[in-house]
Structure 1
Amino acid sequence: MSQWLESLLDPDLASLTAGALYAAVWSLVFVESGVLVAFWLPGDTVLFTAGLLTARPGSGVSLPLLAAGTAAAAVVGNAVGYWTGRHLGRPWLERRSARVQHHLARAEAFYDRYGALALVCARFIPWARTFVPVLAGVSRMPYWRFTAANLLGAVVWGSGLIVLGYAAASVPWLRTAAYVVAGVAVASSVVVPVVARVRAARRPRAPEPAPQPEPER
């Protein structure tokens, strides 16, 4: 079971040199965290695998350097996503219909209340970690709150998964459990939005109010 999950989820990083591994991991984390077209990239799997490779004798990969650089790439990537949402996405949406304005107001209320928690939790959901920082910028989440959540999420997710992979190299059951959790997370990231979309489509729409007659003059 462990070998099947590993072959399914592990990207081919073993053939890279230490320098190439740093560049590949940091580039992927930055792009996935801040560029909308990269939401499909397997960041969780890459980080865990990089940690496994770091634990190999003679790998030449520094665990502190890899973990710190990954956290920094995640921070910068999310900051780019926030800037994109605030300075490009927000002006574009403000020129849309009144219905869009209503959704903007709801998004602002959500990020005002749950924005920091959403940013940290979204790090562990493949598609969400790309879109949530952009929506935080669109919603004009205060930058100091965004920065604090960005730093915390980057360390817990980026550095944490690498350290977890490093530890799993000597703990076989931890490695198997991590692959199972990764598989469930990937499946959930696809199934949950589809189920929500189907339920929304089946929900009966509220009838539109009848037009009121104009008063007689």
Structure 2
Amino acid sequence: MHQLIEIYRELIKPEWIMAHGGLYVVMFIIFAETGLFVGFFLPGDSLLFVTGVIIANSLTKFGNVYVDLLYWISLITFAGVIGNIIGYWYGSKFGHILMKWPDSMLFKKKYIHQAHDFYEKKGGMAIFFARFLPIVRTFAPIVGGMVDMNYKKFVYYNILGCLAWVISMIMAGFLLGNITWVQKNLEVIVIGLVIVTTGPVLFKMFFGKKKATTEA
């Protein structure tokens, strides 16, 4: 757990990001979180917020900060869309094998069940809303593939959801990134963002089933 916390702390530091490949690293992490089931623990929301802060405060790649903003939003959105498509493909081809895997620290079948329940409640919009829910966004496309969701419908909600998620998170960081207080307290803000976005999901995953069992 301590090592995981340290990884989080490094990933959300603009200095670390810029020293290890720049925002292309963010692209890869967003792809991994949305396309590889082992990437469910990655802090996508926080990284997108930090990306906005970096764009607002870094030298421009194209000589215009708004062109930079459009460039990175486009690339990161593309990475997120492709990630979900790979997750869908994996679910459609190997979902039955995945459900036979034993639980481990990095994979638990209840994550799949959690995404499946969310998918059943929200229908096609599950793919859209899942973008804003840590852990669930990793497994929702896999479940979509497992239940043979219409591919065109999946791609539509995939693109729409990824655009909304990436734009809202990056723009929040971009608009607040020039505020001195935000710059000085960025780590605290990002940790708070992790707690706010991840906390409800983790609470439901770990305590929701116990509550349901008690009521039954």
TM-score with structure 1 length normalisation? 0.73
Matched with 1:184 is: 196
Q: Which one of the candidate residues 159, 165, 169 is aligned to 1:151?
A: 159
Change (3 A) 1:135 1:129: same
Correspondence list, 1:1-217, <5 A = 11-17=12-18, 20-58=21-59, 60=61, 62-90=68-96, 111=119, 114-170=122-178, 179=190, 180-204=192-216
Matched with 2:109 is: none
Quote how far apart the aligned CAs of 1:184 are: 1.4
Quote how far apart the aligned CAs of 1:87 are: 1.2
Rounded to whole Å, the distance in 2 between the matches of 1:51 and 1:89 is: 35
Change (3 A) 1:54 1:19: farther
Quote how far apart the aligned CAs of 1:201 are: 2.9
Rounded to whole Å, the distance in 2 between the matches of 1:130 and 1:166 is: 25
Q: Is contact 1:82–1:136 with CA below 8 Å preserved after alignment?
A: yes
Quote how far apart the aligned CAs of 1:136 are: 0.7
Letter of the structure 2 residue corresponding to residue 157 of structure 1: W
Quote how far apart the aligned CAs of 1:71 are: 0.4
Rg: which structure is higher? 1
Change (3 A) 1:182 1:151: same
Matched residue of 2:167: which SS? helix
Number of paired residues? 186
Letter of the structure 2 residue corresponding to residue 121 of structure 1: F
Quote how far apart the aligned CAs of 1:191 are: 1.2
Quote how far apart the aligned CAs of 1:160 are: 2.5
Q: Which range is displaced more, 194-203 or 149-158? A: 194-203
Rounded to whole Å, the distance in 2 between the matches of 1:14 and 1:135 is: 36
Change (3 A) 1:18 1:152: farther
CA RMSD of aligned residues (A): 3.3
Letter of the structure 2 residue corresponding to residue 83 of structure 1: W
Quote how far apart the aligned CAs of 1:183 are: 2.6
Q: Deviations over 1:139-186 (max 9, x none)?
A: 11100110000000110112331122111124579998x754543112
Quote how far apart the aligned CAs of 1:189 are: 2.0
Which consecutive unaligned segments of at least 5 residues does structure 1 have?
1-6, 95-103, 205-217
Which consecutive unaligned segments of at least 5 residues does structure 2 have?
1-7, 101-112
Letter of the structure 1 residue corresponding to residue 72 of structure 2: L
TM-score with structure 2 length normalisation? 0.73
Change (3 A) 1:9 1:187: farther
Percentage of pairs with the same residue? 28
Rounded to whole Å, the distance in 2 between the matches of 1:44 and 1:161 is: 7
